[in-house]
A and B are shown apart, each in its own frame.
Chain A
Amino acid sequence: MNANFAAALLDPAAPCPAGLVSWNGSDPAQRFAVYRNNVNVGLIDALADSFPVTQELVGEAFFRAMAREFVRAAPPRSPVLALYGQGFAGFIDAFAPAASLPYLADVARLEMLRVLAWHAADAAPVAHQALAAALADPESLPQLRFELVPALHLLVSPHAVVSLWAAHQSETAALALAGVDTSIAEAALVCRLDLDVAIYHLQAGAAAFVAGLQLGRPFGEAAAAALAADPAFDPAATLALLLGAGAIAGVTTQRRPS
């Protein structure tokens, strides 16, 4: 019985489920429409909460139409709606009406990472002194491994995602947006410190370095890859940024058990 009801909730063309009645003989389809509206509006609103910049970039009407298509194609699989929308960016990638905004999906990716960082497990950042002590020994430095906090995320994009996102944080978003060259590749570091999620713009080398750390590579390997990606890579400045972002939970010189 619920199968027909469920199918008709997401498909506006589906007929009203059979077997519904009303006390006064009024049209059950019109009453059923209340549920259909609740379901669709509720899920679209949940996406709008998680993707405010994506919505600003395309306007509310376009966003809600796109979100409605996504809801129909990929309804939530879990009642934990805060994490709904992890497939939204991939959906936008393939959403033909949005093809004229090639950066849109990556902006959605960045916004989802922001949500994930917001709700990620708590972890105390490493004390500055502990990190300084570990960095002080040039012998062990290449083998140093960094434990990153669960709230840290990296997004490497061929588009100016950080600039686009930042332009939408001001009251004069339209004005700021006019100055963004969307075709410039940017990498974003997303991290939560205390109760705030921040987004940082990383240079290519720093992004390669963080990607290496995320893979569990020791400092030496991650720094070498970063220098290969960008000869201007500055390890000290990058570590300072990571430390300031609360991204490092711990540091160890021990080799990982293989």
Chain B
Amino acid sequence: MGSRDMGTLRSIPAAVRHPAPAPAPRRALPARAGIGLKPEHFRAILQTRPDLGFFEIHAENYMVAGGPFHHWLSRIREHYALSVHGVGLSIGGEAPLDEAHLDRLALLLDRYQPESFSEHLAWSSHGGNFYNDLLPVAYDYPTLQRVCDHIDRVQARLGRRMLLENPATYVEFAASTMDEADFIGEVVRRTGCGLLLDVNNVHVACTNHGRDARDFLRRLPLDAVGQIHLAGFACEADSLGAPLLIDSHGAPVAEEVWALYCHALDWVGRTPSLIERDNDIPALPVLLAEAAHADAILCRLAPMRHDEACA
């Protein structure tokens, strides 16, 4: 069983920054498995009301005025905990955050009052264009400062703590002066944000950059983990024939990722865990079976937190 002694290292007070606003008391996501909410499953979910910890939506898909998406989400929200996961804030971008987008986000969070809000350590907009992908950042001090400023702004504008997701990346930057785990640890320490531990991203990034995934994982700020993501990847090869894994969200969770998940749970304890599937979306029961598998692992392996109990 892993020790938690790394917590002492991370409890060094941050340099004086704008502190995150004192959050209003908010319910947390239940420490169970959840799945991504997909339009093709709206009706089946309401008809069958599967026993699930929570649903997660991509914020941008619901930034429309009205219509069926809001109709179904409102009804599903009545019965389930909700995680809102942003994919378009461009926290790693060079420009200041898009305040209009933050406004849209604030409106959405106000409407649905989700238990959790998360975004990515990545950029997706530049020069006013949106590239619809999670693009990598250099791990250097100017980027660190910028990312922290952006997260401060998000947390101040939304009046809540956000979770930051570790990225899946395919390249590294010669300009980087810190490693990814240290960079993320510093962001968490400075901003008070939480970590969305994407175990698939850990596996993908570590494979793509020749790192040891377990070692990398243990150097992340695991005390701050508020949610876990699990997903499938596609396998390609780089120009030398080494595996180059693509974070496709288009396949079942791989065995290696389940194993890394079990390892992570030893360190982080029972944590809300999402089965992420955004491409080649299967029928609802297939995703529910993956969620049940995660639930079984959670109950078997994870030390209890607070007053959580296995059903």
Contacts and interface: CB of A to CB of B under 8 A. Distances in A.
Contacts of A77: 128-130
A80 B98 CA distance: 12
Contact of A20 (B87, B133, B172, B239): B172
Contact of A32 (B94, B132, B171): B171
A128 interface: no
B135 interface: yes
Nearest to A32: B171
B67 to A, nearest CB: 5
Interface in B88-128: 88-90, 93-94, 98, 101, 104, 123-128
B70 interface: yes
Given A2-B126, A20-B174, A42-B133, A30 B67 contact: no
Contact of A39 (B93, B131, B208): B131
Contact of A75 (B61, B89, B131, B173): B131
A80 B104 contact: yes
Nearest to A17: B171
B124 A122 contact: no
B199 interface: no
A255 B136 CA distance: 57
B175 A195 contact: no
Interface string B200-221: 0000000011110000000000
Nearest to B245: A34
- Residue picked from A19, A21, A78, most chain B C-beta under 10 Å: A78
Interface string A196-223: 0000000000000000000000000000
A150 interface: yes
B235 interface: no
Interface residues of B, number: 51
Contacts, number: 139
Given A30-B239, A46-B132, A150-B65, A1 B70 contact: no
B288 to A, nearest CB: 24
A87 B77 CA distance: 34
B242 interface: yes
B132 A2 contact: no
A120 B136 CA distance: 34
B238 interface: yes
Contact of B67 (A32, A79, A120): A120
A24 B210 contact: yes
Contact of B129 (A22, A30, A76, A121): A76
B63 A80 contact: yes
A35 B94 contact: no
Interface in A14-32: 19-28, 30-32
Contact of B170 (A35, A151, A195): A35
A1 B94 contact: yes
A122 to B, nearest CB: 4
B101 A79 contact: yes
Nearest to B125: A79
B60 interface: yes
Interface in B165-204: 170-175
Contacts of B211: 23
Given A20-B172, A26-B239, A119 B66 contact: yes
A65 B127 CA distance: 25
A91 interface: no
Contacts of A34: 170, 236, 244, 246
A191 B61 CA distance: 21
Given A6-B126, A24-B210, A79-B88, A19 B175 contact: yes
Contacts of A43: 132
B68 interface: yes
B309 interface: no
A24 B172 CA distance: 11
A79 B60 contact: yes
A9 B127 CA distance: 13
The 5 closest A-B pairs by CB, nearest first: A79-B88, A119-B64, A122-B66, A27-B239, A121-B65
26 contacts: A2-B135, A19-B173, A19-B174, A20-B171, A21-B171, A21-B173, A21-B174, A22-B238, A26-B239, A28-B171, A34-B246, A38-B133, A39-B132, A43-B132, A76-B132, A78-B101, A79-B90, A81-B130, A83-B64, A118-B68, A121-B66, A122-B67, A123-B66, A150-B66, A151-B67, A195-B67
Interface of B: 60-61, 63-71, 87-90, 93-94, 98, 101, 104, 123-133, 135-136, 138, 170-175, 208-211, 236, 238-240, 242, 244, 246
Given A24-B242, A119-B66, 14 more contacts: A1-B94, A3-B126, A23-B172, A30-B238, A31-B244, A35-B170, A38-B132, A39-B132, A42-B132, A75-B131, A76-B129, A81-B60, A123-B66, A150-B65
Interface of A: 1-3, 5-6, 9, 19-28, 30-32, 34-35, 38-39, 42-43, 46, 75-83, 118-123, 150-151, 192, 195
